[in-house]
Structure 1
Amino acid sequence: MPAAGSERRPPPTTMPPPEPTEGHRLSFCLLDAAGSVLAERDPDRRFYAASTIKLCVLLAALRAADHGELDLAATVPASRTFTGADGTPFALEGDHLDPSHPPDGTPIEMRELLVRMIDRSSNEATNAVIARVGLEAIARVVGDLGLTDTRIERAIGDPSAIGRGLTNETTAADLATTMRAIVSGDAVSRASTALALGALRAQRIRVIATVVREGIVVGSKSGEVDGYRHDVALIGDPTLPDARVLAVMTSGYAPLEADEEIRRIARELLGDLAA
């Protein structure tokens, strides 16, 4: 795929999927292998990003590794407690917890944290990576990719940051751009791209991937909190011209209803790539 940040062109004239019903919000952006827009609806509407922020965190960490600033083989002690924006500790609890995360104090490699952050959407792994690379490095990724409608201002579950009004938000267009940057081979080294692709293809919370035709490899990252459900997927081999990147973001739907809407959009837009 060409470098991230290619100019987005207007989509061709096609019959779009039906509009969402009142009280529901749904946006999408479909890119081809060259980064051109094939279809979109309300692509610049901002949504709470949920776990989709983990793509920018991943890219910041891989860049740090490529620059020799982060040793992926180094170990850190596993933890569920982190330092908040006000400098005081906070612990992840309840739905924030990854039940498969190692017990506190267990040595865990940075490389494994990156994979766990994506393949099982571990919040503990995500906050550990954010603590290591820093929010400023993540903000640089956002700026370098030209993600004008994306804000990543806090770690997951940080009550002091939430109390200050800090948030994490993005759009379907920015999500598609971010995914394409990660898988293109241009944003990070070949080794880092391979690590990212492996984690994305092992993603356990699959939505768009469930409607893709058998034999086509999919890498994806979903995100969900109450009232929001999103998914962004690479469909196919990113080195081939028929690859696609599709991002769909929703709010106001019940979880199962949101998943069905995302699948409906994917079937409509992916054509022969869908089952």
Structure 2
Amino acid sequence: MQRRAALRVAHPAPPSHAWDLLFTAALAAFTLALALFGFVLAGVIVDDSSSGPRAESTSSPQGATAGGAHDAGPAPMTRGADDARLQAAILDELGADVGRFGVVARRLDDGLGAGVNPDRVFYAASTFKLALLYEAELRRSQGLLDFNAPLPLDESDLSEDLGTFENLPFAEEGTLTIGAALEAMITLSDNASAVALLRLLGPEAIDATLATLGLKHTSVNTRELPTTASDMALLMEAIVRGEGVDPEARGHMRSLLLAQHSRDGIPAGLPGSARVGNKTGTWEQATHDVAFVETTSGTYVVAVLSDSDRDWSRIARVSGAVYAVLAQ
């Protein structure tokens, strides 16, 4: 106890006036530091609010091109809020079955559009072939793929045939070119060609390209083949605009889709004056159609996905309802 008392005495307090000066200086320094901290903190808060989450857009990224290839077509428009009239027209046609459908429609020149269950995940069925089409055209634009080269086929590819393989345009030596396979895959929805092209192009690389375009739920690297109406509309928009590809590839994709043989869905709900390119997809509890529609008022894309069994008439009616709004 004595030692502790001695220690306290060994460090006497400074005179009162010196202590007052020191206390005043310390208080001023603390106040200044506190003010500076508050200023910096306010700046951080402002920066965070300006760079934080924004309203999500399902349109293609501005200025983005897959694979760094050629930029072609009009610049993508930022999609705004859903148009109430268009959404009501779609809902009226779906009625009580609205939960079984995913629909997205969007006009390209001004971004006017609407969606119903846009992010519900469906089995893609043959709509996944749109991803293969885009990837092949992208690589040809980059000089990485020759459409005149023969496509390697094996027995596993032929096992996927559902009756269209015999109609493929084989050369005299029995080979099938990549370009011919691509055409059969889109216009006839040939499965053997699709499986061979998927192996040639690589599912991982295709998924990476889709991510570059902004697709969030679609994958060709799994047998589940997940996709959404939002993703399919975005992919069709990239095809129509020719994002990342040269003008030749853009025109070729358009011509193949215009030559599609299956026209019972979206095309069936349109007047003869409209030009429509589409790709269907059907399987058990999967009936889909994805299209671009060219009208005198501009071009729009529409994706109608459902878990129904070949309810083409409903898809056609939804198509007609979309046309009545977006073709004005």
TM-score by length of 1: 0.82
Match of 2:236 in 1: 179
Q: What is residue 74 of structure 2 aligned with on the other side?
A: 2
Alpha-carbon distance between aligned partners in 1 of 2:163 and 2:208, rounded to the nearest angstrom: 26
1:194 equivalenced with 2:266 (yes/no)? no
Q: Where does residue 202 of structure 2 map in the other structure?
A: 134
Distance 1:27 1:76, change over 3 A: closer
- State how far apart, in whole Å, the 2-side matches of 1:242 and 1:102 are: 35
2:164 aligned with 1:100, yes or no?
no
- Counterpart residue identity of residue 159, structure 2: L
Query: How far apart are 1:36 and its partner, in Å?
Result: 2.1
> Does the Cα contact within 8 Å between 2:161 and 2:192 map onto a contact in 1?
no
Quick one: distance in 1 between partners of 2:201 and 2:75?
23
Q: Does 1:263 align with 2:320?
A: no
Structure 1 residue aligned with 2:260: 203
Instruction: Please tell me whether the aligned partners of residues 140 and 147 of structure 2 are also in contact (alpha carbons under 8 angstroms).
Output: yes
Specify whether residues 228 and 37 from structure 1 end up closer, same or farther in structure 2 by C-alpha distance, changes over 3 A only.
Answer: farther
Letter of the aligned partner of 1:249 in structure 2? Answer: L
Change (3 A) 1:123 1:93: closer
Q: Which of 65, 70, 73 is equivalent to 2:145?
A: 70
1:1-275 → structure 2 map (5 Å cutoff): 2-3=74-75, 6-14=77-85, 15-16=88-89, 17-18=91-92, 19-21=94-96, 25-34=100-109, 36-82=111-157, 91-93=158-160, 95=162, 98-101=165-168, 106-154=174-222, 166-206=223-263, 207-236=265-294, 242-251=298-307, 253-255=308-310, 258-271=311-324
**In the aligned structure 1, how far is the partner of 2:78 from the partner of 2:142?**
27
Larger strand share, 1 or 2 = 1
In structure 2, stretches of 5+ residues that fail to align are 1-72
Q: Contact 2:291–2:303 (CA<8 Å) still a contact in 1?
A: yes
Q: Tell me by how many angstroms 1:34 deviates.
A: 3.4
Using a 3 Å threshold, how does the CA distance of structure 1 residues 78 and 168 change in structure 2: closer, same or farther? same
CA distance in 2, matches of 1:61, 1:152: 14
C-alpha contact (below 8 Å) 1:101/1:124 kept by paired residues: no
Matched positions, count: 249
How large is the RMSD of aligned CA atoms in angstroms? Answer: 2.5
Larger of the two Rg values belongs to structure:
2
SS at match of 1:21: helix
> Residues 45 and 68 (structure 1 numbering): CA distance in 2 closer, same or farther, change over 3 Å?
same
Shift of 1:75: 1.7
Report the CA distance between 1:8 and its aligned residue: 2.9
Structure 1 residue 130: deviation in Å? 1.1
**What is the one-letter code of the residue matched to 2:299?**
A
Per-residue deviation, 1:112? 1.0
Distance 1:272 1:98, change over 3 A: farther
For residues 125 and 185 of structure 2, the distance between their equivalents in structure 1, rounded to whole angstroms, comes to 13
Are the structure 2 counterparts of residues 93 and 234 from structure 1 closer, same or farther at C-alpha, using a change threshold of 3 Å? closer
Give the number of the structure whose residues are more often helix, by fraction: 2
Q: Output the CA distance in 2 between the equivalents of 1:129 and 1:230.
A: 22
In structure 1, list runs of 5 or more residues that go unmatched: 83-90, 155-165
Cα drift, residue 78 of structure 1: 4.8
Deviations 1:133-154 (A, max 9, x none): 1112211221111111112114
Query: Which TM-score applies when normalising by structure 2?
Result: 0.69
Identity %: 28
Q: Is the 8 A contact 2:151 2:176 kept in 1?
A: yes
- CA displacement 1:159-209 (0-9 Å, x = unmatched): xxxxxxx42111111101101101112331111111111110000011211
Q: CA 1:246/1:202 → structure 2, altered by over 3 Å: closer, same or farther?
A: same
